[in-house]
Amino acid sequence: MFAVYQKELKAYFNNLFGYLYVAIILLFMGIFATFYHFSNYLVADLAYSLDNLAIVVMLVSPLLTMRIIAEERQRKTDQLLYSLPLSVTSTVVAKYLAMVTVYLVPMLIISIYPFVMASFGIVNFARTFSSILGFFLMGSCLLAVGMFISALTENQIVSAIISFVTMLIIYFSGSISQMIPADSMSSFIAITVLIVILGIVVYIMVKNYIAALAVMAVFEVVLAVFYRIDVTAFEGLFATIIGWISVYERCASFYNGIFDLTSILYFLSVSFLFVFLSIQAVEKRRWS
Amino acid sequence: MIEVQNLVKKYGNHTAVKGISFKVDTGKIYGFLGPNGAGKSTTMNIMTGCLAATEGKVIINGHDIYDEPKEAKKCIGYLPELPPVYMDMTPLEYLRFVGKARGVKKSELSIQIEEIMDMTGITDVANRLIKNLSKGYRQRVGLAQALIGYPEIIILDEPMVGLDPKQIIEIRELIKSLKENHTVFLSSHILSEVSMICDCVMIIADGKLIASDTPDNLSKHISGNTLDISVKGSTKAILSALKGVKGVGEITVVSENEGIVKIRITSEEDIRSEVFFALSSIKASIMELSNSSMTLEDIFLKLTEKEESEEKEKDLSSEEAEDEVSEEDEDEEYTPLFTSDVEKNDKKGDEN
């Protein structure tokens, strides 16, 4: 497992992608920090710049995730990994940890900011580091999602584009959910759209119409039954569901200085879920 | 030792491997032969755990590749069809990675890598990026990878592809030398190559094992006695004289050129001396007389043709007796046309 971890880490810094990822994040962090903390606004709360940095991290994370599994498949090197005495689980986990390690580099550098700021004024360290922790967990989640997309595709470019779109959807999901009327019928329709998307993902994973349709049908029937039983519960339900899905929105409590255990648990479990799904997607390839 | 039991692999509706069973003994070189699309790579991928079989078992040194993948894979070095090399690494980094992943001790690894790079002739390019290497070198890096950790069983999928003639000879010698400490299982569609280095040849066509024996035995079994002769004289007289020889089967005139006739005769027994006397009695001088043994190419074609014609017959007979089929067919197991004496002895030994 350590061998794969080392290999992946080296791979990021043997080509441009690792440096590019770190550089872009640090560049934007520098710009935001200058703007909010050192020149225009002079606030001592790092959360302001981190909140702006979120979209940057989302948009650059495909740089790390696009190749992580798709490249092995494209170059047929996955056959080597399968034939080595390593389990798929340890390989995928090692790959994920390598990505998180690369992500840790800019986060550690950003952790220096509060100390610099402290020399100019009073910084609430607890609050600042809780923001950084929340931000780090959010980014790790995104990497897991990206890895899952990479595991589903065979082509790095396709993987990058899908990840990119997914990241945008995650970022804007809050605003999108607010645009949809809160009445129960609109919620019903919006959730149906989500179920169709889920069906498409299932189809991509198992390449089986029947299975995908079955999953869609089951969810839709359950949805319809609940709709029959209790229409009022559907009011504003879509926004609530999006609230669960939106990784980005979850960060808010950290920015407010609340060391939110449920959010930590949320981030960890989403990461775990997508790492698990990636393992399944890779494992599944052997059975196709 | 590898034991493959009734392996079946289905890709959707297409069945790539249709129930292959065989045993691979320690310390020998096995050749896996078949045309493109016969199921060689699929079988090898299943044996190394890269693919899961639809049915059947693969047992490597007593470890089932699915139930105990780690133990089983520790005994295997595998070179797939395309060398699985990372383009952004140098051969040295690459081999070090594979060594670590195989769990080779740090102290041994450097020595091993040096030895193996020397064996495969990649020491000169050890510090160049693999993406800048030629196909032949990448193939050799792939082969070196399979040797790291000196696994007991080395499985090579078309190891000679992409090499130039000189490299082919080198790699052939290398594979032969591996025999001392390893079991080698290699696939190829070039039959002459396999006959040169393998102790045992398995022929696979259309997802089924159709023959398994030593290269010599295979050619003996199938070719029977065939004589190639070049005679000086008139074709008519020669043919009539030859027809008079006892035990002559089919006579075919291969070519006629400047009074020299080339003829091929098949027979049940060795009739060389009879042919000689028959021709000398009509004063036709023999320029050349040789007992032709078939090349593996011929054997291969013959076996696959046989297989096809048998299947056709089966189809016809099944059409005739539509109702009677079903259960019997399902139970039917495919038995290879030939099994080597060694295997027969093994079976006897097992029974005892």
- Each residue of A11-44: pLDDT tens digit? 999 888 999 999 999 999 999 999 888 887 778 7
Do B26 and B58 lie in one domain? The reply is yes
B19 sits in which H/E element: strand B14-24
What single letter denotes the amino acid at residue B180?
E
Do B134 and B227 lie in one domain? The reply is no
Domain assignment present for residue B174? The answer is yes
* Most confident region among A139-153, A224-238, B24-38, B193-207 by mean pLDDT: A139-153
- DSSP structure class, residue A69: T
When CB atoms are compared, the residue of B82, B85, B88 closest to A14 is B88
Do B196 and B231 lie in one domain? The reply is no
How many angstroms separate the CA of residue B11 from the nearest CA in chain A?
7
Q: Is-contact A44 A124, C-beta < 8 A?
A: yes
Whole-number Å distance between alpha carbons of A52 and A33:
10
- Cα angle B95, B98, B104; round to 5: 100
Domains in chain B, number:
2
Cβ-Cβ contacts under 8 Å, A79 against chain B: 45, 48, 50, 78, 80, 82, 84
Do B179 and B232 lie in one domain? The reply is no
Whole-number Å distance between alpha carbons of A173 and B56:
48
Domain assignment present for residue B80? The answer is yes
**Sheet bearing B76-79, strands edge to edge:** B76-79, B153-157, B183-188, B29-33, B200-205, B208-213
Domain assignment present for residue B327? The answer is no
CB pairs under 8 A between A and B: 72
Whole-number Å distance between alpha carbons of B212 and B235:
41
- Inform me whether the C-beta atom of residue A23 falls under 8 Å from chain B C-beta atoms: no
ipTM for the whole complex: 0.85
Whole-number Å distance between alpha carbons of B278 and A17:
82
Question: How many angstroms separate the most distant Cα atoms in chain B?
Answer: 78
| A134-149 per-position pLDDT tens digit | 899 999 999 999 999 9
Mean per-residue pLDDT, B23-29: 89
Do B264 and B151 lie in one domain? The reply is no
**B246 pLDDT more than 90:** no
- Closest chain A residue to B142 measured between Cα atoms? A80
What single letter denotes the amino acid at residue B87?
M
> The domain containing residue B256 runs over which residues?
222-320
Q: Is B39 left (phi over 0), alpha (psi -120 to 50) or beta?
A: left
Query: Which tokens go with A86?
Result: 């390593």
Do B202 and B249 lie in one domain? The reply is no
Do B154 and B286 lie in one domain? The reply is no
Do B12 and B56 lie in one domain? The reply is yes
CATH code for the domain of B198: 3.40.50.300
Domain assignment present for residue B343? The answer is no
- Closest chain A residue to B101 measured between Cα atoms? A3
**Lowest-confidence range among B77-86, B147-156, B323-332?**
B323-332
Cβ-Cβ contacts under 8 Å, A84 against chain B: 73, 98, 101-102
Domain assignment present for residue B335? The answer is no
Q: Which of A19, A11, A7 is nearest to A106 (CA)?
A: A19
Do B7 and B151 lie in one domain? The reply is yes
- DSSP structure class, residue B226: E
CB contact under 8 A, A83 and B97: no
- Cα angle B73, A79, B206; round to 5: 95
* Alpha carbon of residue A235 to chain centroid: 28
Do B206 and B254 lie in one domain? The reply is no
**B296 pLDDT more than 90:** no
Domain assignment present for residue B342? The answer is no
Do B74 and B156 lie in one domain? The reply is yes
pLDDT confidence bin for A169, thresholds 50/70/90:
confident
When CB atoms are compared, the residue of B52, B73, B82 closest to A85 is B73
Residue in this structure with the two tokens 């022929």, named with its chain if needed: B203
Domain assignment present for residue B331? The answer is no
**Lowest-confidence range among A61-75, A146-160, A187-201, B121-135?**
A187-201
What single letter denotes the amino acid at residue B26?
T
CATH code for the domain of B297: 3.30.70.260
Whole-number Å distance between alpha carbons of B341 and B343:
5
CB contact under 8 A, A79 and B50: yes
Do B26 and B50 lie in one domain? The reply is yes
Mark which of B182, B204, B220 sits at the end of a domain: B220
pLDDT confidence bin for A254, thresholds 50/70/90:
confident
pLDDT confidence bin for A194, thresholds 50/70/90:
confident
Mark which of B151, B185, B220 sits at the end of a domain: B220
- Inform me whether the C-beta atom of residue A10 falls under 8 Å from chain B C-beta atoms: yes
- Inform me whether the C-beta atom of residue A40 falls under 8 Å from chain B C-beta atoms: no
Cβ-Cβ contacts under 8 Å, B87 against chain A: 75
CB contact under 8 A, A10 and B86: no
Domain assignment present for residue B284? The answer is yes
